Structure 1
Amino acid sequence: MELYLPIAELPMNVFMLVGMGAAVGFLSGMFGVGGGFLLTPLLIFSGIPPAVAVATVSSQIVASSTSGALSYFRRKAVDVKLGSYLLVSGVFGSYLGVMAFTRLRELGQLDLVIALSYVTLLSTIGALMLTEALRAIAAQRSGKPLPVKRPSTQGWMQRLPLKVRFSRSKLVVSAIPVACLGLIIGFLGALLGIGGGFIMVPALIYLLKVPTAIVIGTTLMQTLGSMAFATIAQASTNQTVDVVLGLCLMIGGVIGAQFGAEVGQKLRGETLRALLGLLVLSVGLRFAVDLVLTPDDLYSLSFPTGEQL
């Protein structure tokens, strides 16, 4: 059953789109992470223009983050003050990301920048996750506990000005690293179509020492706000949000997440981290291979907006 995507300007099989959303939803439910960093590459590999893939996934992230954020709010597992700092800086970062997105699209370099960014980001994070998980598995099999190494922030971070007390997180920290973190995640989210939770969560835990119990809810609050702004900005500035595509992905994602959560509960934490690291690394390497392979069309004509003939 073919379905025409008005913004992507190509027909796609509706069952394939729903299945794609279900597959990423399954992985998200199993690993407990947002699927933007997997869904955007998958859409690009399927022939969706990168500009449309990035912008449309932003809308899908908003939908998937809403229910999670509301759930954590009801359980009072959100540091609203910390989330507000991250949200404000994240919105500003999203604005910068959309502006960079627009400029790169005008120059015709958006596809290359997205591919290079995914190669660098996913390959690095995937390799680190896989290495850490394999070390944990090896230590478990040998019967020796793996020491937890957390970077010390008692030095330079404590000397920064603009200290703010976050009562819910029971910490006093400078607003500068908090704002910078939100800015970076917002920028990457708008430019690459990723929620940023797989970066934000460990950063809050290990860098700012935010209690683990409220990290996910606070991250979802920031993701929801910044990606909602990015979606509106992309739709109004670049007209690259495909509602039909986003709806198919959302339907599949909701279904797949339920099954993924059940499977994830049956696997050990170290195994899950190893599988996720391997998956992330594989996607990064796939982008790298596409960059060095000879394309089917050696030449292409493009308008100043970056749209290809």
Structure 2
Amino acid sequence: MELYLPIAELPMNVFMLLGMGAAVGFLSGMFGVGGGFLLTPLLIFSGIPPAVAVATVSSQIVASSTSGALSYFRKRAVDVKLGGFLLVSGVIGSYLGVKAFTRLRELGQLDLVIAICYVTFLSTIGGLMLTEALRAIAAQRSGRPLPVKRPGGRTWMQRLPLKVRFSRSKLTISAIPVVLLGIAIGFLGALLGIGGGFIMVPALIYLLKVPTGIVIGTTLMQTLGSMAFATVAQAATNQTVDVVLGLCLMIGGVVGAQFGAEVGQKLRGETLRALLGLLVLSVGIRFAVDLVLTPADVYSISFMSGEQL
């Protein structure tokens, strides 16, 4: 059953779209990640223009983050003040990301930049996750305990000015690293179509020393606000948000996440990290292969704005 996507300007099988949403939702539920860094590449590999894939996945991330954020709010597992700093700075980063997105699109370099960024991020993060998980599995099988790496001190952070007290997290830290982290995640989210949770969560835990029980809910609050702004900005500035595509992905994702959560609870933590690392690394390698392969159409014709033929 073919469904025409008005913004992507191509027909797609509706069951394939639902299946993609369900598959990424399943992986999100199983691994506890947002899935944007997997869904965006999957759409691009399926023929969706990168600009449309990035902007539309932003809307899907907003939908998936809303229910999670509300759940953590009810459990009082959100540092609202810290989340507010991250949200405002994330909106600023999203604004800069949309501006960069628009400029790169005008220059005709958007697809290349997106591919290079995904190769760099996914290959690095996937490789580190896989290595760490395999070390943990090997140590467990040999019966020797794996040395625990404790986060280093915060001396350099303690010397930074503009200290702010975050009562819920029981922290007094400089606002500078908080704001810079929010801007960076917002920028990457708007430019690449990722929620940034897989970067934000470890950064809050190991860099800012935020209690683990507060981290996920606070991250979801930042993701919801910054990606909502990015979605509206992409729709208004670049007209690249495909509502039909986003709706199909949301429906499939909600269903898939329920099954993924059940499977994830039955697997060991080391196994989950190894599988996720392998998956992320594979997507990064696929992007790298696409960058070096000769395309089927060596030449393409495009019209630059402001030029007359």
Shared fold (TM-score, shorter chain, > 0.5): yes
In the other structure, the counterpart of 2:189 is 189
In the other structure, the counterpart of 1:250 is 250
In the other structure, the counterpart of 2:279 is 279
In the other structure, the counterpart of 1:114 is 114
Deviation per CA, 1:151-200, whole angstroms, max 9, x where unpaired?
A: 42422111111111111001111101000110000000000000000000
Deviation per CA, 1:241-261, whole angstroms, max 9, x where unpaired?
A: 000000000000000000000
Aligned residue type for 2:56:
T
In the other structure, the counterpart of 2:266 is 266
Structure 1: 5+ residue stretches without partners: none
**Cα displacement (A) at 1:60:** 0.1
1:28 aligns with 2:35: no
Deviation per CA, 1:185-221, whole angstroms, max 9, x where unpaired?
A: 0000000000000000011011111000010000000
Structure 2 length-normalised TM: 0.98
- Asked whether the 8 Å contact 1:153–1:208 carries over to 2, the reply is no
CA distance in 1 between counterparts of 2:71 and 2:125 reads: 28
**Cα displacement (A) at 1:303:** 2.8
**Cα displacement (A) at 1:92:** 0.1
Residues matched between the structures, number: 305
In the other structure, the counterpart of 2:300 is 300
SS of residue matched to 2:155 = coil
Q: How does 1:78-117 map to 2 (within 5 A)?
A: 78-117=78-117
Runs of 4+ in 1 over 3 A off after TM superposition: none
Bigger Cα displacement from structure 2, 33-42 vs 139-148: 139-148
**Cα displacement (A) at 1:74:** 0.3
Structure 2: 5+ residue stretches without partners: none
- Asked whether the 8 Å contact 1:157–1:174 carries over to 2, the reply is yes
CA distance in 2 between counterparts of 1:153 and 1:176 reads: 17
In the other structure, the counterpart of 1:202 is 202
Deviation per CA, 1:280-305, whole angstroms, max 9, x where unpaired?
A: 00000000000000000001112336
In the other structure, the counterpart of 1:135 is 135
**Cα displacement (A) at 1:150:** 3.5
Identity of aligned residues (%): 90
SS of residue matched to 2:33 = coil
Structural RMSD (CA): 0.8
SS of residue matched to 2:295 = coil
CA distance in 1 between counterparts of 2:288 and 2:304 reads: 26
Structure 1 length-normalised TM: 0.98
SS of residue matched to 1:156 = helix
Q: How does 1:169-248 map to 2 (within 5 A)?
A: 169-248=169-248
In the other structure, the counterpart of 2:77 is 77
